[in-house]
Structure 1
Amino acid sequence: MVSAPRVEVSPSVEADQRVFMRGVSYKDYELVLLARGEASVPRISYAEGVLELMSPSRSHETLKTLIGRLVEAYAEERGLDLNGFGSWTLKNPAVERGAEPDECYTLGPPGEVPDLALEVAWTHGGLDKLDIYAKLGVGEVWFWRKGRIEIHVLRGEGFEEVERSPLLPDLDLRHLETFLDEDNQTQAVRAYRLALRGGS
């Protein structure tokens, strides 16, 4: 049975807001999705009777947007057919799992699930997203935690952390991370594009 762990956040960090509900059926989960409609928040995750509603903080949204823009800039500079789907609602009644990533992408034509899901772990706790994504069949998940992007690749029934993305093997994420402290997103993307082109 999936439990809903306690959420912890440093007092100095702007916190995401999370609410957990236990004993929720998959049918009720789908009704909650229907009631929320096309709104982008709260983001809704579900695993074996536990429903999580998450309203991301401004800092969370700013960071996930900048990471996404940098990844998209990389794909454009390298001529890759990367397609973005935002917080695509991923769900499967057969495994009683559902999630909405911060950003997600396919490389080439879209399939039933994205090739890559991006998550900003701004606070600690919540449902086990890697378990959910594994059951949903997402091939690669990136987690930003404390200034670093972790790469997790689906191997069999679970994820393995690796240093390089099999999906984007030439992308140096350590280099990309150096642009995440820039307050102005447009300037960060411009500087990153210049660096990718071999500029200073």
Structure 2
Amino acid sequence: MVATIAIHKICLEPGSRIIIPDISWHKFESILQELGESRNSRIAYSQNTLEIMVPLPDHERSKILISDIVKILLRRQSCDWESLGSTTFRGELKTAGVEPDDCFYIANYEAVIGKSRLNLAVDPPPDLAIESDYTSKTRLDAYIAVKVPELWIYDRGLKIYVIDGEDYLVVENSPTFPGLPIKVMVDRVIQQAQQVGSSRALRAFEETL
């Protein structure tokens, strides 16, 4: 007999993750309901593989800083946006799902105003998603399936991914902020925040624009 443990009873230490193979879409949906929305874990699902991870405090700090940088730049460019945080996005073909650390609707912000639930069969994916820390193949595959056009991954440096058909290309410049050295900006703010604190680093960044 094989013992089974309820998903919500599995305790993961911050910075750890668990990979569970052979998970059907129906089971994935059941697990999401079991886990609920008030949790500190993040999930990704692709090709019948489920990943559950719990971020470290440094992960959260980097995520917040990068999100704040995006908001500062959008304000300076007089752009409207909607930020939906770690919303669960389910692929329209019911083969993938992912929860970013944060995400932004910019070109398509009007499409999600006031919505508490999204259906990617009719709603667009976010224009920009943010991941802080190591990102597995399962998560990348999920983002491709969900068709997020631009993905930023910070892991001791920022990488910018742009979707190209069934894959992501690593690029130097952000399509969301063309002409701006985003990678340099993000690295500088995060390094400065480690020395003087987040608020002062962000204030100094905004003063340079």
TM-score by length of 2: 0.79
Structure 2 residue aligned with 1:171: 180
Q: Is the 8 A contact 1:52 1:127 kept in 2?
A: no
1:162 and 2:160 aligned: no
Structure 2 residue aligned with 1:17: 16
Aligned-partner Cα distance in 2 for 1:68–1:40: 20
Measured on the aligned residues, the alpha-carbon RMSD in Å equals 1.9
1:134 and 2:140 aligned: no
Structure 2 residue aligned with 1:8: none
1:127 Cα deviation from its structure 2 partner:
3.7
Structure 2 residue aligned with 1:66: 65
1:81 and 2:80 aligned: yes
Structure 2 residue aligned with 1:191: 204
Aligned-partner Cα distance in 2 for 1:131–1:103: 17
Aligned length: 180
Gaps of 5+ in 1: 1-13
1:128 Cα deviation from its structure 2 partner:
3.2
26-35 or 37-46, which deviates more: 37-46
Q: 1:154 to 1:179 in 2, by over 3 A?
A: same
Gaps of 5+ in 2: 1-12, 112-122
Aligned-partner Cα distance in 1 for 2:95–2:190: 35
Q: 1:72 to 1:40 in 2, by over 3 A?
A: farther
Identity %: 30
Runs of 4+ with deviation above 6 angstroms: none
More helix by share: 2
Compare relative contact order (CA 8 Å, sep 6+) and give the higher one, 1 or 2.
1
Q: 1:40 to 1:172 in 2, by over 3 A?
A: farther
Q: Is the 8 A contact 1:47 1:127 kept in 2?
A: no
Structure 2 residue aligned with 1:6: none
Aligned-partner Cα distance in 2 for 1:130–1:153: 11
1:95 Cα deviation from its structure 2 partner:
5.0
Aligned-partner Cα distance in 1 for 2:74–2:27: 39
Within-5 A mapping of 1:89-168: 89-92=88-91, 94-108=93-107, 109=109, 110=111, 111-121=123-133, 123=134, 126-146=136-156, 148-168=157-177
More strand by share: 1
1:92 Cα deviation from its structure 2 partner:
2.0
Aligned-partner Cα distance in 2 for 1:195–1:176: 13
